[in-house]
Chains A and B, each alone.
Chain A
């Protein structure tokens, strides 16, 4: 019955999709091309006198290299933290124990706090004199230094930022995995139990296979988000001490708006986006294949 409308439908489809497409081209694709153009323009230059000098400089820039390493470490450890805590909590919450609703709501709270605020909370909690962490630790280990400077410590500043980011981000992975767990049919567990499968066996043969797609989607998405993380780092450490907690977003921002070297910043932004695009491919392929 649809055949009579096919020609018409084809054109109407464009009518619906066109406004959004044009808007995105105007506000996103066009500016992205300007960034690309800027990244191959000599500093302060204009026109079509192109150069690769900024990319060559980027390859030799120890700060950029360090920041790439920081960002990868930040993403990797955040993902590990989000996954371990998220899966553990999802499994615990999936047992329909008394008090489940309460624990579920409490576990969701960090998700509802904006990044900017999460950074501020941890900056204040880790404050060496008036923060709450040092006194808490001293309750259990009285020998711990009273005014330990977490965020000025060369060794512990970066792990502190990662812990804050684990706090901020685990709930979303948790809810996604919990939704996945609830979708696994009870009969599969019962059948496995009848076959004499123990708990571990059921976990590895029923739970994990049932969750595999949602785990992949959750981690692929989380990877993209953590790679772009900005506000948390800005309010918690501002990238310091030195550049020890600098991530790519904050470095590009600073290169633009504090050092005002627009051409070099553009080259950095392009490099970052290329890596980000590669990281987001798994997600685009996963979701693209499932939802056409």
Chain B
């Protein structure tokens, strides 16, 4: 096909495609290079990571750093702490937030609008506003340096999120189902537990997973409420490794990658739900 025979429409499309591919390629490099560099470093030995000139592909690839992170530092313990804290927070927030979400979705009680605005506003609060009192209160009731204390703190992030996210999900379930239940003589609680909850399983699972990720990624709270090594979370363990006098880069990059695995996997699988949730007003903290 010669250039002269192209219609202006086809020419436009070609130009669009060329521009799009250029942008996509450049930004793919921007997105990938830092991650590739991290992956490459994690597969190097300490001496290779510090040798010049730099190599993008490890000359003597080794998984030494991945072994070292479990032995040199108690990363297994950090993982366990993160899993416990994020899991308990997510479950608690999803249950209590799910109840609230259903209440907001189905009932028109006095003060509903203000209360909704309150839930939305609490998502906007920065943890920085309350870390001072938390530090003091938790120290006073001997919950400083405990995972329980951390769970309480994470509820402040995850609960408003879970309430809004599940409200949006319940809104998408037809009200006629509730009304059919009422006609059949079921109580509101029975309707919620027997009819609505089973339908809401996919939405509840995604709420649960996002709440889990929110807690998993936190650094601020863990930094303020945990000062002993045995109670550190993964993010805290990683952040502390970067502050050390000599940074072991292969081990740190390996630990960072392993610590990011839950977020990498879940976000890639759940991105669709996440965007839908955002459009409904559910927010990441």
Contacts and interface: CB of A to CB of B under 8 A. Distances in A.
A, B co-complexed: yes
B99 interface: yes
A114 B260 contact: yes
B163 interface: yes
A80 interface: no
Interface in A233-269: 234-235, 238, 248-249, 252-253, 256-257, 262, 265-266, 269
Nearest to A213: B279
Interface in A131-166: 131-132, 135-136
B104 A252 contact: no
B50 A130 contact: yes
B56 interface: yes
Nearest to B163: A20
Interface in B82-111: 96-97, 99-100, 102-104, 106-110
Interface residues of B, number: 107
A280 interface: yes
Contacts of A257: 135, 223-224
B151 to A, nearest CB: 10
A266 B134 CA distance: 12
A97 B15 CA distance: 13
Contacts of A93: 20, 24
A179 interface: yes
Interface in B258-274: 259-260, 263-264, 267-268, 271, 274
Tell me the interface secondary structure of chain A in the complex: helix
Tell me the interface secondary structure of chain B in the complex: helix
A191 interface: no
Interface of A: 1-2, 5, 8-17, 19-21, 23-24, 27-28, 31-32, 34-35, 38, 85, 88-89, 91-93, 95, 97, 99, 103, 105-117, 119-125, 129-132, 135-136, 167, 171, 175-176, 179, 199, 214, 217, 221, 224-225, 227-228, 230-231, 234-235, 238, 248-249, 252-253, 256-257, 262, 265-266, 269-270, 272-273, 276-277, 280, 283-284, 287-288, 290-292
17 contacts: A17-B99, A17-B100, A92-B23, A97-B21, A108-B267, A112-B264, A119-B242, A125-B38, A131-B54, A171-B31, A175-B271, A199-B16, A214-B279, A221-B278, A225-B284, A231-B235, A273-B128
